[in-house]
Amino acid sequence: MKLRGKQKRYLRSQANRMKPLFSVGKNGLNETWLEQVLDALHRRELIKVNIQQNSDLEVSDVQEYIEANSNINVVQTIGKTLLLFLPASKEKFQIYSVEVRNI
């Protein structure tokens, strides 16, 4: 799902007070980490990921990895934090995607 500007703005406003749920450290990225992020997104739809100081990866590296290996939308990057969005497939977990579709 390609997000438009207003949709991204809405998601950024909803994530304003969120704390990062996942972090990328010195171990880097792997399939297990991505599966855990996907599982969290299926229930929450919107999460933040933080890149720790001891990580060898840059924000752009993490963004490219996520976008290349999944259908997750990277809504925003600020410093070493990424905001990720994936619409939930189950209706009871669709907190943000219903509103995003209406925008």
Consecutive H or E run containing 12: helix 5-14
Q: Is the dihedral of CA 94, 95, 96, 101 positive or negative?
A: positive
On the question of pLDDT at 1 being above 80, the answer is no
Rounded Cα distance, 51 and 79, in Å:
9
78 forms beta bridges with 81
**Pairing relationship of beta strands 46-51 and 22-24 according to DSSP bridges:** parallel
Question: Which sequence spans correspond to the domains of the chain?
Answer: 5-96
**59-78 tens-digit pLDDT:** 999 999 999 999 999 999 99
Query: Would you state the pLDDT for residue 28?
Result: 84
Asked if CATH classification 3.30.110.60 holds for the domain at 5-96, the reply, yes or no, is yes
Consecutive H or E run containing 24: strand 22-24
